[in-house]
């Protein structure tokens, strides 16, 4: 690893990209400490056990703890991306047509996603502000009025759009996917405080037998985390390699290559999607929390979308599984893969080109995604089950989700750094 990082910093292009990414992350961390005007940030600390608070605070890098300008994080953008991608599946003809127009269509879809992000971000900011202010007995907003709520919503929406722009800059001029990097940085930034909180709750002030039991529990937890990390790394890098035969007419000779299909083709995107999707109902409930918080339907709905409740954890896992299937077919489009192979004069061994190849890849991708979906769901829900059985700190409940994102993004960053370093070496060799 250290050798790879040394080689990366020796290559000017890779070094510039890494430094640019780090500079953007510094801006992101500074923004997480700038509190929105008109807010009593201390009042938000009372919601540390709320499911909505935990999700937003995790993916905003702790920005919600201080109700900063980045409190919404990139959740509205992710939600907008989900909606736009769903509309491309033969639902909205215009979006379907754009999806087939290559780079031009991609720019149009990106623009539509950003416009939708503004709408979702504004609605979510209003809902969160109204909901948390009501739950805090109207102590969060110092001067609760419609003008104040609109001003706060505009600031939070602007913060989300600025983060989205920073993410785009990382994608273009930095390393890996910008939105994933921002979420990754937010989770990493919260780790020291989470470790300190865990120490205070489980180890500090204990002595004798209680101390030994606490240390034993901590050691067992560390071993469990290491084993889960090893499992995540193994599955994320596992591939099914299909033998591809290139015809002699296309290449001048019969050549065999491999088409790799990952077990988890969707990566960590389903986890991020599911987490953002869980915040939508909570946002809507925030609008009516002041007048209906004691109603039966409000309590039931809140419980369904609360990750600290069993039904909420099960729904979260189900969403991860569904999004894994969905995004796997977005990432690996069997129709396009079959079409590209046919254009290149290539075919999968023992499979006819064209429609048979498409059906074969779809069937294989479905089986691989089944393993990937249940793997993602298992990693996400295990900490929740453990927290419920052994009364672990609530901060651990999202540990599986955070771990999946951190390890998945780290693997992708490592892969891109290695790819760019190798590419530069080949370019230098050719120039010589």
For the ranges 170-184, 367-381, 382-396, the lowest mean pLDDT is seen at: 382-396
Predicted local distance difference test score (pLDDT) of residue 46: 66
Predicted local distance difference test score (pLDDT) of residue 160: 92
Beta-sheet pairing, 239-246 with 346-348: antiparallel
Q: In which band, very low, low, confident or very high, does the pLDDT at 156 lie, cut at 50, 70 and 90? A: very high
Residue 118 pLDDT > 90: yes
- Domain-located, residue 432: yes
- The residues, any chain, with a CB within 8 Å of residue 48's CB and separated by 6 or more, are 54, 394
Residue 48 pLDDT > 50: yes
Residues 13 and 161 in one domain: yes
Predicted local distance difference test score (pLDDT) of residue 393: 57
Beta-carbon neighbour count of residue 91 at 10 Å?
Answer: 10
Residues 183 and 321 in one domain: no
Predicted local distance difference test score (pLDDT) of residue 164: 92
Short-list 127, 34, 33, CA closest to 75: 127
Give the mean pLDDT of 115-121. 91
Give the mean pLDDT of 45-64. 70
The count of structural domains within the chain is 2
The more confident residue out of 427 and 52 is 52
Q: Judge contact between 240 and 364, C-beta under 8 A.
A: yes
pLDDT digits (tens, 9 = 90+) for 77-101: 888 888 888 787 767 788 888 877 7
Q: In which band, very low, low, confident or very high, does the pLDDT at 2 lie, cut at 50, 70 and 90? A: low
Residues 294 and 387 in one domain: yes
Residues 266 and 342 in one domain: yes
- Domain-located, residue 311: yes
CA atoms within 13 A on the CB side of 192: 2
Residues 246 and 101 in one domain: no
User: What domain range is 428 assigned to?
Assistant: 221-432
- Domain-located, residue 280: yes
Residues 272 and 177 in one domain: no
Residues 184 and 259 in one domain: no
Instruction: Round to whole Å and give the CA distance between 4 and 406.
Output: 19
- Domain-located, residue 393: yes
- Domain-located, residue 215: no
Q: What is the CATH number of the domain that holds 129?
A: 1.10.3370.10
- Domain-located, residue 208: no
Three-class SS string for the chain? CHHHHHHHHHCHHHHHHHHHHHHHHHHHHHHCCCECCCECHHHHHHHCCCHHHHHHHHHCCCHHHHCECCCCCCHHHHHHHHHHHHHCCCCCHHHHHHHCCHHHHHHHHHHHHHHHHHHHHHHHHHHHHHHHHHHCCCCCECCCCHHHHHHHHHHHHHHHHHHHHHHHHHHHHCCCCHHHHHHHHHHHHHHHHHHHHHHHHHCCCCCHHHHHHHHHHHHHHHHHHHHHHHHHHHHHHCEEEEEEEECHHHHCCCEEEEEEEECCCCCCHHHHHHHHHHHHHHHHHHHHHHHHCCCHHHHHHHHHCCCCCHHHHHHHHHHHHHHHHHHHHHHCCHHHHHHHHHHCCEEECCCCCCHHHHHHHHHHHHHHHHHHHHHHHHHHHHHHHHHHHHCCCHHHHHHHHHHHHHHHHHHHHHHHHHHHHHHHHHHHHHHC
Predicted local distance difference test score (pLDDT) of residue 26: 92
Q: In which band, very low, low, confident or very high, does the pLDDT at 51 lie, cut at 50, 70 and 90? A: low
Walk across the sheet containing 346-348 and list its strands.
255-262, 239-246, 346-348
Give the mean pLDDT of 337-350. 82
Predicted local distance difference test score (pLDDT) of residue 389: 67
Residues 146 and 238 in one domain: no
Residues 307 and 260 in one domain: yes
Residues 253 and 132 in one domain: no
Q: Judge contact between 408 and 232, C-beta under 8 A.
A: yes
Predicted local distance difference test score (pLDDT) of residue 432: 46
- Domain-located, residue 125: yes
- Domain-located, residue 214: no
Give the mean pLDDT of 245-274. 72
Residues 283 and 180 in one domain: no
Give the mean pLDDT of 14-43. 87
Give the mean pLDDT of 229-255. 74
Average pLDDT, the chain: 79
Predicted local distance difference test score (pLDDT) of residue 329: 83
Give the mean pLDDT of 205-225. 79
Residues 251 and 385 in one domain: yes
Q: Judge contact between 59 and 45, C-beta under 8 A.
A: no
Short-list 82, 80, 148, CA closest to 115: 80
176, 191, 206 — which closes off a domain? 191
146, 170, 191 — which closes off a domain? 191
Predicted local distance difference test score (pLDDT) of residue 92: 76
């Amino acid at each position: 690893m250290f050798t790879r990082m040394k080689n990366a910093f020796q290559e000017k292009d890779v070094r510039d990209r890494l430094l640019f990414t780090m500079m953007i992350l510094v801006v992101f961390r500074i923004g997480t400490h700038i509190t929105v005007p008109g807010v009593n940030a201390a009042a938000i600390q009372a919601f540390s056990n709320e499911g909505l608070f935990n999700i937003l605070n995790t993916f905003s890098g702790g920005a919600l703890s201080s109700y900063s300008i980045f409190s919404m994080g990139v959740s509205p953008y992710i939600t907008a991306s989900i909606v736009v991608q769903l509309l491309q599946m033969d639902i909205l003809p215009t979006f379907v047509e754009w999806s087939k127009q290559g780079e031009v269509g991609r720019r149009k879809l990106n623009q539509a996603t950003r416009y939708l992000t503004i709408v979702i971000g504004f609605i979510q900011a209003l809902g969160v502000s109204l909901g948390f202010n009501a739950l805090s007995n109207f102590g969060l907003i110092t001067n609760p009025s419609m003008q104040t709520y609109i001003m706060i919503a505009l600031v939070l929406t602007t913060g989300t759009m600025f983060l989205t722009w920073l993410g785009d800059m990382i994608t273009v001029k930095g390393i890996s996917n910008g939105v994933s990097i921002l979420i990754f940085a937010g989770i990493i930034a919260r780790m020291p405080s989470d470790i300190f909180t865990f120490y205070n709750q489980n180890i500090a002030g204990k002595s004798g037998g209680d101390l030994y039991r606490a240390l034993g529990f901590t050691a067992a937890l560390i071993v469990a985390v290491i084993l889960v990390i090893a499992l995540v790394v193994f599955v994320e890098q596992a591939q099914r390699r299909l033998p591809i035969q290139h015809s002699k007419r296309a290449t001048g000779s019969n050549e065999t290559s491999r088409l790799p299909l990952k077990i988890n083709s969707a990566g960590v995107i389903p986890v991020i999607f599911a987490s953002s999707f869980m915040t939508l109902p909570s946002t809507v409930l925030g609008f009516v929390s002041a007048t209906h918080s004691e109603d039966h339907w409000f309590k039931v709905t809140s419980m369904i979308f609360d990750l600290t409740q069993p039904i909420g954890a099960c729904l979260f896992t189900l969403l991860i599984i569904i999004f894994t299937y969905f995004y796997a077919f977005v990432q690996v489009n069997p129709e396009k893969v079959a079409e590209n192979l046919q254009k290149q004069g290539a075919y999968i061994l023992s499979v006819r080109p064209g429609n048979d190849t498409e059906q074969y890849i779809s069937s294989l991708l479905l089986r691989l995604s089944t393993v990937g979906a249940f793997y993602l769901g298992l990693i996400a829900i295990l900490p929740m089950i453990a927290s419920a059985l052994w009364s672990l700190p609530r901060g651990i409940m999202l540990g599986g989700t955070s771990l999946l994102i951190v390890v998945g993004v780290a693997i992708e960053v490592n892969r891109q750094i290695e790819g760019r370093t190798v590419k530069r070496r080949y370019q230098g060799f050719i120039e010589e």
